[in-house]
Chains A and B, each alone.
Chain A
Amino acid sequence: MKITLPFTLEMRESVKIGDVLELTGNIYTARDAAHGRIREAVEQGLPLPIDLKDKTIFYCGPCPAGPGRIIGPLGPTTSARMDPYVEMMFQQGMAACIGKGDRAPYVAEMCRKYKGLYLLGVGGAAALCANAVKEVEELAYPDLGTESIKRYYVEDFKVVVGIDAQGRTIQEENIRRYRRR
């Protein structure tokens, strides 16, 4: 299913777990350290480094770009480390996040409550994933190096819906189907 970002509420409510989406548009990287700083800014009432309204956040720290490339290999990092920040990010307007691996049960509840999505990138397909990125712009926290906030304009960036806006999780339903012990 082809999706043009940003996600609208209608789009978020229409996709369901297991759907394979090809995203075109802007996504924004933030992982452990950037989330820590965003939380500090929110707690202190300071301006945020980017407006999070309707944004799709990508839990990602890329490799440096080699010669002739705009970005190095990149892919999703383990999302569970960002679980404690999810509600704050939804409250600031985040529409969806992209990462890998299962999450705490309360994240599914947050997705239901805020009509948000958790999308699974393909962990470890980093050389291919980088080809989907057509533009790169560093927006905040350059001192964090690979962990800075960057805007990627992507074309047909492949993700799988991991938690949908009804709060259903792919792991819970699919793993049960194939479990033999």
Chain B
Amino acid sequence: MMRVLNTKELIPVIRGLCIQACQHLSPNVTDALKDARRREESPLCQEILDMLIENADYADKNNLACCQDTGMTLIFMEIGQEVCWEGEPLMEAVNEGVRQGYQDGYLRKSVVADPIRRVNTRDNTPAVLHTEIVPGDQVTITVLPKGAGSENMCHVSMLTPADGVEGIKKAVLDAVDYAGGKPCPPLVIGIGIGGTMDKAAVLSKQALRREIGNRNPQPHLAELEEELLKEINDSGIGALGMGGTVTALDVHVEAYPTHIACLPLAITFQCHACRHAQAVL
């Protein structure tokens, strides 16, 4: 039995998710910041974390963007294979939702139409849309506004099988040290391992959808997450790179089968405002 959905139903949902994600940090993120404040040893970083917690609360209560970089809008849609779309092209509906959300939420328009000519589109469109076809008749939409301070620190390494887990760890820790305070730590770090270069990159983004504190269900990947989290926090970078004991709120690893000759690794940095909002249609 097909479920017919008109693409225009997406518009108000995506509009609302853009505003929700940018103005109202989830309790999962604010709790993680409060926990970081308890663990942080540097007085300067404690002061910074206090400000970030107060800022999140103030933004939430006053319907303001918690950060001025409201990002390029990354959207994941898991579309049930029993859904049949009608109406305008889906991408147009997605962009209309983004347009309305960034306009009505007083969010910054940070997208240029061409990477070389660089003229602002003035409505934050187009979004970057990743679709997955899944079983069922529902559509799960996640909006993840991605700021550039953290995005510019992302990294891809085409490792070889011989590099193994040690090679993965070294590449991640090198990327964290190189990034320093630029991506606005304390970070959530998404790591994609396996597949092809593009698959690893998408996995590293999908990893950011997971709640802070949740581990990968596969024990060897959960162990890698724990080990990386400890070593990243031993880097000394601290909140906003001012020197401290909490550099990451969490590390999320996602893996996929790969070629006998490959070990692709992608690292996505996400800032302390790990913004995302989700809805199910």
Contacts and interface: CB of A to CB of B under 8 A. Distances in A.
Interface of A: 18, 20, 33, 60-66, 72-75, 77-78, 80-81, 100-102, 120, 122-130, 144-146, 158, 160, 170-171, 173-181
Nearest to A75: B68
Given A72-B68, A170-B242, A178-B236, A128 B55 contact: yes
Nearest to A74: B68
Interface in B218-246: 231, 234-238, 240-245
17 contacts: A63-B70, A64-B106, A73-B59, A73-B68, A101-B184, A102-B241, A122-B240, A123-B149, A123-B184, A124-B271, A126-B68, A127-B62, A128-B58, A146-B110, A170-B242, A175-B237, A178-B42
Nearest to B40: A178
A126 B54 CA distance: 11
A100 B181 contact: yes
Interface centre among B52, B106, B173 (most CB of A within 10 A): B106
Top 5 closest A-B pairs, CB basis?
A: A174-B243, A179-B236, A101-B182, A127-B59, A178-B236
Contacts of A145: 109, 120, 122
A85 B105 CA distance: 33
B241 A124 contact: no
B137 interface: no
A103 B266 CA distance: 24
A60 B234 CA distance: 31
Contacts of A65: 106
Interface of B: 41-42, 44, 47-48, 51-52, 54-55, 58-59, 62-70, 106-110, 118, 120, 122, 148-149, 152, 173, 180-184, 231, 234-238, 240-245, 271-273
A179 B173 CA distance: 13
B166 to A, nearest CB: 14
Given A20-B47, A80-B182, A128-B55, A180 B234 contact: yes
Given A124-B52, A175-B235, A101 B122 contact: no
A130 B108 CA distance: 14
A178 B244 contact: yes
Contact of A127 (B41, B47, B65, B241): B65
A180 B41 CA distance: 13
A128 B236 contact: no
Contact of B243 (A125, A146, A170): A170
Contacts of A74: 68
A74 B59 CA distance: 12
Given A78-B182, A145-B109, A171-B181, A128 B54 contact: yes
A101 B68 contact: no
